[in-house]
Every structure is written in C-alpha cells, then in structure tokens.
Amino acid sequence: MQNQLLRLLCVTVVLSQGCAAQPGGRPDDAIGPNDLASDEGALRVASAESSTYYTATRDYRRCAWPFCGGFWVSEVNHAETTCPDGSTAEACYVTDLDLEGLALNERDADDLRGALDTTIFRGEIGSAFVADRDIAVFVVSEAWQPLTEGAPVGDFFKVVDNGIRCITTPCYTQEAAFLNYPWWFTLDQLETRRVDATDEELATAFETLATDGILVAGWARARFTRTDVFLRIRASQIYLPVRPSPVDPGGVVCGGFAGIPCPGHGACMDDPTDSCDPAAGGADCTGLCECYTRLRCAPGYHFDESPEVCGCVEDAPLSPCATVRCAADTTCEVVDGTAYCVSNGSQACGSSTCGAGSVCCNASCGICTPPGAACIQIACL
C-alpha cells in the first residue's frame, strides 16, 4: 500500500503542473487500470465485471463462411484478448454477433450492426455447432452507443450511482471502475465539458446514470487518502445503453401460446417488427390484429375497420338539431337534450332584441330568456 500511495503521490504532484500528453497519447497525470490493480484503496471488488466488455469490427477477408466474413472482437482496456481456444491476440475472430439477448426488433438490430465501430458490447465468446464443427459466436448481453459523434479518447469506465444521499458535504454519490477490471473506486469528479454534448443530452446521460449507469471514455486522475483512492475522470465520450424500441401503442396483440383472439372479425398476422417468425419454427410468436373483412351492416350500423373493433357498430344517434331549422340570426344549440334556436346577438323579439345566447320565448311581450328557462306565455298589448 505504501508503494502504491507513493506512486499516486507522484501523480498528484504532476497533476498540479498541468496535463501534457505523452507520445502515446496518455497525459502525464493519467492513471491507467494497471496502476490501480489492487484491492487496496478500492471500495469493493466485483469479479462479475471482469473481461466482459468488447469492441467489434467486421471481417472483410474473402473466403468461405464461417472461416471469414464474421467479426473481430477485442477486450476494452486490454492490449490482448483471450480467444475461445485459450490463446491471446489483439482481436479474436467470431462468426456472428448474437443479439437475441437485447430483444431488439429486426430494424433496430440491423441499425446496431451498422454502427459497430462506435458501439461497446458486453457479452461472452461462446460456441455453436455449424457444418460439423464448433465455431465461435459472440453472445451479446448489453450494447452501449455514444451520446455524441465525437471520437472517444482515453480509457473506458463504468460509472454508477451508489444510492448515497447526504445533508452535508463532501458527499460521494457515484462510483467508477475501469471496464474489464474488478476494482470499484469512489468517483470524486466527472468532468464532461470535452464531450461536446448539449444540455439536453447531458441531462439524459445523468438521468441514465442514476438508474442503469453509463460508460465513459476519458482519462482518470487519482486523489488519495490514507485508506482510499478517489478517481477524477475527464470524459471525452459518454455511452448510453441500447434499449428495445417501444411497441406501437396502436397494435393489438394476439396469438402466442395463450391463443389471444382478435376482436370482432380481425385476423391475427405475424408482427414483422419482431424476431419471432412462425414460418421459421417460432412456436410462441405473438402477432398483431389486422382487419381485412368488410361486412354489410344492418341499417343504423356501420363497419369500424380499426383493429380494436373490426365489426359493425351502432350509428351515433342524430342530434336534436338535425331536424330543426333556425332563422338566419339564430343558431341551433342542444340543452338537456332539447334543441333551441339561440340568438346570435341580433334576434328581433317583438319590441326587443335578444342578446347572444338567449332565446325569444314571448314575442308579443318581447321576452328573452336563457335556453330551457321558464317562459311566461301571456299576450301583451
């Protein structure tokens, strides 16, 4: 621990002298994952985080699949990647990216494959038996895409909210770890000005940090106490998790093992936006109701083509005003189910003129009243 703190002390001294990039691109004061590869000073150790984040690129070699045409995957923050046969290399070849665990529809999955160069994946390199041989397949459990179009510079981190809330300062509410390393440290500061994001984009990022956490590319500096190490990350890019697109709220789900029926005369059709295809052997594929039938409805009814109904429904009753003709200076209005010819503001009523919204109830006396009000029916001389 003493040697480690001594090394960190040297880093802290350099930190006060400014940040100069080394020939390899790493600033003089930047801490790398191997500089903190120890339980000492760490908040916790989470082995489940080890060696699971990768970048992926397409294989453009020309030969017969599955030997070419797949993908190359590399462990983030490591110079070499452990391949399925136990060897290590800068990148390992896999025949396919299995995205089923992300529950994306076909369009979103295609978009993700088209954005490989900017995406960080979490998953495992597994195997599948194809053409009488085992082949490597990368099974994806998470995908993270950048917040902006800027290029990432630096190491990669996971940043999470630890749930701590305080009424005094300092209050450390976030933790950070180098991706593919198990040691988690208190996050002292996350600087985002180099991310080149809008206020709205940063607000979205910090909302995500509070729930799912975020990935961050950047350089880390260290601040230490006698027992703890605190990280300060200067971010160059932020990554948010890829989530399935919401289901169209207008769709009516049907089918599946439960055999959910469609309303009325609707037909249950395969949903083209999901990855479950009955024609390919999908046994529990739900569908969407569509209305192809056109029925001749009885008088007083009409056919509703919406998937929610797909049948004959009763016509709306006629308004009482439908059979009433009013004078040019009045408009028909319905009050408590009764039609009245209401003045527009210039209706003559005997020797009076009815104001807007009133009716002439007794022309001989020039009496105007609100619609539906009691009217004295007397003759005036």
HEC sequence for 272-305? CCCCCCHHHCCCCCEEEEECCCCCCCCCCEEEEC
Of 50-54, 88-92, 230-234, 339-343, the one with minimum mean pLDDT is: 50-54
Asked whether residue 10 carries a pLDDT value surpassing 80, the answer given is: no
Q: What is the pLDDT of residue 17?
A: 32
> Which tokens is 310 given?
């797909």
Place of tokens 């294989």: 59
Beta-carbon contacts of 216 under 8 Å, excluding residues fewer than 6 positions away, are 156, 157, 158, 159, 176, 190, 233, 235, 237, 238, 239
Give the phi and the psi of residue 170 in degrees, each rounded to 5: -75, 150
Strands 338-343 and 330-335 turn out to be: antiparallel
Confidence band for 4, pLDDT divided at 50, 70 and 90? very low
**The two three-digit tokens of residue 112, written as one number:** 């993700």
The average confidence (pLDDT) of the chain is 83
Digit-coded pLDDT (tens) for 200-224:
999 999 999 999 999 999 999 988 8
For 98-121, what is the mean pLDDT?
A: 92
- pLDDT value at 361 more than 60: yes
Kindly state the helix (H) or strand (E) to which residue 75 belongs, with its residue range.
strand 71-75
What is d(CA 290, CA 310) in angstroms, rounded to the nearest whole number?
8
Q: How confident is the model at residue 117 (pLDDT cuts 50, 70, 90)?
A: very high
pLDDT category, 19, cuts 50, 70, 90?
Answer: very low
Residue 2 has pLDDT above 80, yes or no: no
> In the predicted model, is pLDDT for residue 37 greater than 80?
no
- pLDDT tops 70 at residue 379: yes
Residue 115 to residue 121: CA distance in whole angstroms: 11
Q: What is the mean pLDDT of residues 8-33?
A: 52
At 152, the pLDDT band (50, 70, 90 cuts) reads very high
Q: What is the mean pLDDT of residues 297-320?
A: 85
Residue 187 reports pLDDT greater than 50: yes
**Residue 20 to residue 137: CA distance in whole angstroms:** 41
State the pLDDT at residue 229: 85
Query: What is the model's pLDDT at position 320?
Result: 83
Closest CA to 310 of 297, 293, 296, 288: 293
Q: Residue with structure tokens 């959910």?
A: 260
Q: Note the pLDDT of residue 128.
A: 73
pLDDT attached to residue 113: 92
Considering the chain, what percentage of its residues have pLDDT values greater than 90? 34
Give the Å distances, CA to CA, from 300 to 34, 186, 303.
79, 71, 11
Residue 20 confidence (pLDDT) = 33
Given a cut of 80, whether residue 284 has pLDDT beyond it is: no
Cβ atoms of 187 and 231 within 8 Å: the answer is yes
Structure confidence at residue 334 (pLDDT): 86
Out of 56-60, 165-169, 317-321, which region has the weakest mean confidence (pLDDT)? 317-321
pLDDT of residue 201: 94
CA-wise closest residue to 144 among 128, 159, 161:
159
Q: What are phi and psi of 358, to 5 degrees?
A: -110, 170
- CA end-to-end span of the chain: 113
Confidence of residue 51 (pLDDT cuts 50, 70, 90): low
Whose tokens are 């070699």? That residue is 61
How far is residue 297 from each of residues 149, 292, 304, measured CA to CA in Å? 57, 15, 10
User: What's the average model confidence in pLDDT over 21-27?
Assistant: 57
- Tell me: pLDDT of 308 over 80: yes
Determine the average pLDDT of the residues in 212-241.
92
Taking CA atoms, 333 is separated from 38, 153, 371, in Å, by 82, 70, 9
Quick check: helix, strand or coil at residue 236? strand
pLDDT tier, 15 (very low <50, low <70, confident <90, very high otherwise): very low
Check whether 21 has a pLDDT greater than 70.
Answer: no
